[in-house]
Chain A
Amino acid sequence: MQQLKLIAAVAAVFLAGQAQAQSTIKIGVVTPLTGTYAGIGQQVKWGIDLAVKEINDKGGILGRKVEAIYEDEEANPNVAVQKAEKLFQVSKVDFLTGTVNSGSTLAVGQVAERNNRLASTTVSYSDAITGDKCSPNMFRVNAKAGMQSEALAEWLVKQKPGGTVYFLGPDYEMGRSTVAAFKDAATKRGLKTVGETFAPLDNKDYSPYFGQIRAAKPQVFYTSVAGNDTVRLLTQMSEFGLTKGMIIVGAAGTITAQNLAAVGKAAEGFVTGVGYTMEIDTPANKKFVGDFKAMWKTDPDLFAVDSYGVVYFYKTAAEKAGSTDTDKVRTAMRGLEWQTPQGKKTMRAGDHQAILDMYAVKIQGGKFKIADKVSGAASVGPDTCTKF
């Protein structure tokens, strides 16, 4: 009985949704709204909502209103796949975005292929997504790990040529590959590795590793931990006096708007390679930051700006193609250039990776200040996608 009633209820919603389908353009957003990554999902939502509002105020896409439909993927690829299919089949979205962890992005890419629709990630930075696991239906508008490493290594070699580096990363795919990417970029420029440790994900206490770190006496410390792990690692290192005289650098996701406040003073001087900072001094960015703060009463971070940008990415492509047909939009997307608060981005046709200028950014006084800039062309690396 219960089953039938529920089915009837949802069928009604589904049929009602059908009536709307023709007039609005729907963008599905499958993003973690609960769980460990909820903070990131929140920034993604804020960025997209701001973009949708702006676009609708100016007449929409191809004269049609835009609507963003959200589903919580709980940072679980199994849930992401189910919700993605729901968005494609029931809500009939034209485009999908929002996935955060690379497992979800890869799985959702497959769902997009099977539903003949396009999707893009705005957060996942695993190189494989536009590398050996690329998909003809998945795009990436944000910088990948390799690009972040290039920008950071470029800055670092100017500060400490031939310096010694100690690596600490969380022991899972993302953590290891980010460390590997930076190690590559660093050793290529003559920096030396003096040690490497991988701690479990969600590790509470990093003090057991401090002995090894002290013994190695590194000049530079690189870490790819994120979220709560960063708070614990950096504050504990600071409390133990380990940070004195060391340059601390890390991945783009290590310190973000979500954990900056908690890391507090221990974040001072931290440098990372990233595709965005609020300090970018262009009229477009100033306007974006102002509008974002006015609407959401908080600062945007790179997840917000990339998600804001993906809506404009789709808009530009659809308008260039003159339709929302998947194949036409895909063709339009390949090689597309569009404007974002970060400047001009170019979508590389060969692997669906966006090319954008990268920055080495240093935290000073609780703000992300620009320390160096590397062009998109120099940092993007070779196209390793062979699937299309």
Chain B
Amino acid sequence: MNAEQAGQKDLKLLEIRSVTKEFDGLKALDNVSFTLSKGEILGLIGPNGAGKTTLFNVISGTYLATSGEVFFAGSNITKVKDYKRPYSAIARTFQNVMLFSELSVIENIMLGRHPKTRSNLVHAAFHLPLHSKEEKETRKKVFEILDFLELTALADERAGDLPYGQQRLVEIARALAVEPVLLLLDEPSAGLNPQETQELMKKLDITNDSGISILCVEHNMKLIMSISDNIVVLNYGKTIASGKPEEISKNPDVIQAYLGKGGD
């Protein structure tokens, strides 16, 4: 790693500042703070109901934080609408795969190009040059991504007909089509067999090497410990630990959170 890259590593890309999210007075997130540096893979773990998906939804704008702030690439995006965030190059996947099931795999991934293109209904209706040019570029980009994730053979399949594991990959492909700076992955390995999980880890590494920062919720401990640069642990909506994977795996609070209070 040269000096420049080392310098970039320290840049704050995503900053969560004392974020609290209440649902009818119940705190799903309670004063959560952490930072994701540019270029890193940050693992987000915690027992079921710890608030991981809620936090994802706050970052992607599906929910607005009750209090606290979210900074992305130096600007405050706490109140930015969800559909505007992909234009700042934030892309996400969902815990329960959310594909457009009637559409083909290609069309799903083409939708990932939506924030990167701008032809509107007038361009489309009259086949104006901008439409044709963008369609061509979109297809090219989509085939690159299909190739990268080894999905080319499935290009014309109806997305809803695919097995669950492949649907997950298509969803990741769709998020990659956004050309994100920050990629939010919600349990990417759920539903994958061990071999597919291995493949996925390799792909995520390559993705990360190409400069995309990743925030990843994951239940597969082996996977998250091996791919993450840093890990944040949530429990009952609070951050109970953060640090390097090896520190986290030895942290007594984390062990207790996962294993329960034992003899108490």
Co-complex (A, B): no
Chain B residues close to A by CB (< 8 Å): none
